[in-house]
Amino acid sequence: MELIADPWFWAIGIFAVFLTGISKGGVGGGAGGVSTPLLSLVISPVAAAAIMLPVLCLLDIFGIRAYLWKWDAAVTRRIVAGGLIGTVGGALTISWLDDNWIRIMIGVIALGFLAVSYLPRRNVAKPSNRAGWLLSALSGYATFITHAGGPPVIGYMLALRMDKVAFIATSLVFFAAMNYAKILPYYWLGLLDARAIATGLALVPVGVAGVYFGIWLQQRMSGVLFYRIVHVLLFLTGTKLLYDGITAIYP
């Protein structure tokens, strides 16, 4: 089970997975969406998604345990069902997309996440259940391909004006369900090969360390400051990937 040898991959990968772990530790959910965009700067976006899958699946366990039974059951059922429809769509179409179109998609999603993050809640109308199905399906599709499909479903939950704890717990269950639903399709599509699994598992201890650091950090560091750091990273990586994808397709 050969690991990736590129030292730039490991330098960026360790940083990205550590940020993801901090996110699972409760400091900031936005950190989880930066891992695949960062890795996509040095390897294929599809390879980045495959490597991150075992990392995310194992780290999700820590997040779920911290918020066990605190999610909104009705909203969770709705968005998980919609998200699973989206993952089926992702499994059926990912082979049609080349790396540059996936880079564009990741860039748009990263910048979209920032837009949702700064959208005032009071100005958002409460959405219908049908909108929940549609937006969660879009998130399921995007997260299947990029692991960064947060904006649609997060925007939906923000508009519901959910309790903070229920919001965090519900989003954790949604993304955990999506990650575990990807395992068989990724394997079936040949994305989850021995090298991706081995590389991902090698990064898991870094993610676990990030989880415990996040638990420690949330009592000592302003969540606002951490969000700003993550948002700057998302803006820079999202813009870079969007530029690289567009200029490669339309030189």
Given a cut of 70, is residue 31 above it in pLDDT?
A: no
Cβ count near 110 (within 10 Å)? 30
Nearest to 33 by CA among 45, 24, 20: 20
Note whether 180 and 54 are within 8 A (CB).
no
Q: What would the mean pLDDT of 44-65 be, rounded to a whole number?
A: 87
Given a cut of 90, is residue 127 above it in pLDDT?
A: no
166 or 86, higher pLDDT: 86
- Please report the pLDDT score of residue 184 as a whole number: 93
* Residue 91 falls inside a structural domain: yes
130 or 32, higher pLDDT: 130
Q: What would the mean pLDDT of 155-166 be, rounded to a whole number?
A: 78
Given a cut of 80, is residue 198 above it in pLDDT?
A: yes
* pLDDT tier for residue 221 given thresholds of 50, 70 and 90: low
Q: Calculate the average pLDDT of the chain.
A: 83
Containing domain of residue 195, as a range? 7-249
Give 56's contacts (C-beta < 8 A, 6+ positions apart).
20, 32, 147, 175, 179
* Residue 1 falls inside a structural domain: no
Looking at the structure of the chain, the number of domains it has is 1
Note the helical H segments in the chain: 7-24, 35-39, 45-66, 73-93, 99-117, 129-146, 150-159, 164-188, 194-217, 223-249
d(C-alpha 44, C-alpha 28), whole Å: 26
* Residue 46 falls inside a structural domain: yes
Entry pTM = 0.79
Given a cut of 70, is residue 122 above it in pLDDT?
A: no
| Radius of gyration from C-alpha coordinates of the chain | 17
d(C-alpha 195, C-alpha 205), whole Å: 17
Main-chain dihedrals φ then ψ at residue 78, nearest 5 degrees: -65, -50
* Residue 2 falls inside a structural domain: no
